[in-house]
Amino acid sequence: MATNQSLKNQLQQSNSQPPMQANNSVKGLLNSPAIQNKFKQVLKDKSAGFTSSLLTLVSNDSYLADSQPMSIITGAMQAAQLDLPLEKQFGFAYLVPFNTKENGTWVKKAQFVLGYRGYIQLAQRSGQYKAINVGSIYEGQLVSWNPLTEELDIDFDAKVSDTVIGYFGYFKLLNGFEKTVFWTKEQIEKHRIENNKAKNKTQLSGVWASNYDAMAQKTVLRSLLSKWGILSIEMQKAVIADETISDDISEDGEFVIKDVTSVEDDETEDHEAEISEFLEEGTEDKSAEQEALFETGVKSSLEQE
């Protein structure tokens, strides 16, 4: 397998333009034999369709198009390795643009984000799950919850309002093992505040304000599967890659994963306007789930090198 530097060398040698000019666009990278071969190794006959959809995705998203091309390619490769489409309407996986600081300069990179439908898809592929579900519980529906025996009694016909009081996750394996979890709204709030990178950690903003349930359901499902589910090698890689960035390739051909951490609060605050603008633009083209996933990416992504 090629390293990142060898890929760059191949790109330069295979293009008649000046050195590195082939690297200044996603289309240029995808047209290079080195990148084409890498996608073909992973996707086989589906490679052409996947890369074509990637180009369409980038051309239709001005914010994503502004991201460093190599970060888009490596993020797409993470989706390809999991055999998950990147089309927004499917909700399996996304490429989310965000800001990171390198050598004192802010640059925009694409971050791979796994949707909760992607988690379900990967769990189903393992062939070990008989059932899997996640959802919201509204006021009036909760009859009882025993955290010791994990007996959750819900009367779905007893809903009295649109107020959500908690979230459930459930799976049952073919061998009969089953797991049920219930997170109260208070538990979700505690998790949200602890992981909020904004200066005001308690204030709801962005997609947490407009699509709280989608964010909460992904949180519950991810916790449920990563702690209690059967994780194939494929799914283990997916959990690790979710909400991370990569723009380098190791010696053995694997994409180097870098965790996304926050910068100082004042720097986060400086970029709130840009994040809000991103969240507002193109809302009609985003499902509630995708907006929620985007929030997960941008709120944890302002990284200082």
Task: Over range 80-104, report the average pLDDT.
Answer: 83
Whether 2 shows a pLDDT value over 60: the answer reads no
pLDDT of residue 187: 96
* DSSP state, residue 279: H
pTM value? 0.65
Task: Over range 141-158, report the average pLDDT.
Answer: 96
pLDDT of residue 268: 37
CA distance 209 to 254: 37
pLDDT in tens, 254-297: 444 443 333 333 343 333 333 333 333 333 444 444 444 444 44
Task: Over range 178-190, report the average pLDDT.
Answer: 95
Whether the Cβ atoms of residue 27 and residue 11 lie closer than 8 Å to each other: no
Whether 3 shows a pLDDT value over 60: the answer reads no
CA distance 97 to 112: 9
Whether 223 shows a pLDDT value over 70: the answer reads yes
Cβ neighbour number for residue 247 with a 10 Å cutoff: 20
First CA to last CA distance, the chain? 28
Position 105, amino acid: T
**Rg from Cα positions in the chain:** 21
User: Which pLDDT band, with edges at 50, 70 and 90, does 299 fall under?
Assistant: very low
User: Which pLDDT band, with edges at 50, 70 and 90, does 197 fall under?
Assistant: low
Whether 146 shows a pLDDT value over 80: the answer reads yes
Query: Hunting for tokens 């306007």 — which residue is that?
Result: 273
User: Which pLDDT band, with edges at 50, 70 and 90, does 95 fall under?
Assistant: confident
pLDDT of residue 205: 52
pLDDT of residue 192: 87
pLDDT greater at residue 226 or residue 241: 226
pLDDT greater at residue 284 or residue 132: 132
Task: Report CA torsion sign: 267, 273, 90, 95.
Answer: negative
pLDDT greater at residue 168 or residue 112: 168
Whether 163 shows a pLDDT value over 90: the answer reads yes
Whether the Cβ atoms of residue 111 and residue 244 lie closer than 8 Å to each other: yes
Task: Report CA torsion sign: 298, 78, 95, 20.
Answer: positive
Task: Report CA torsion sign: 49, 76, 171, 293.
Answer: negative
pLDDT greater at residue 24 or residue 256: 24
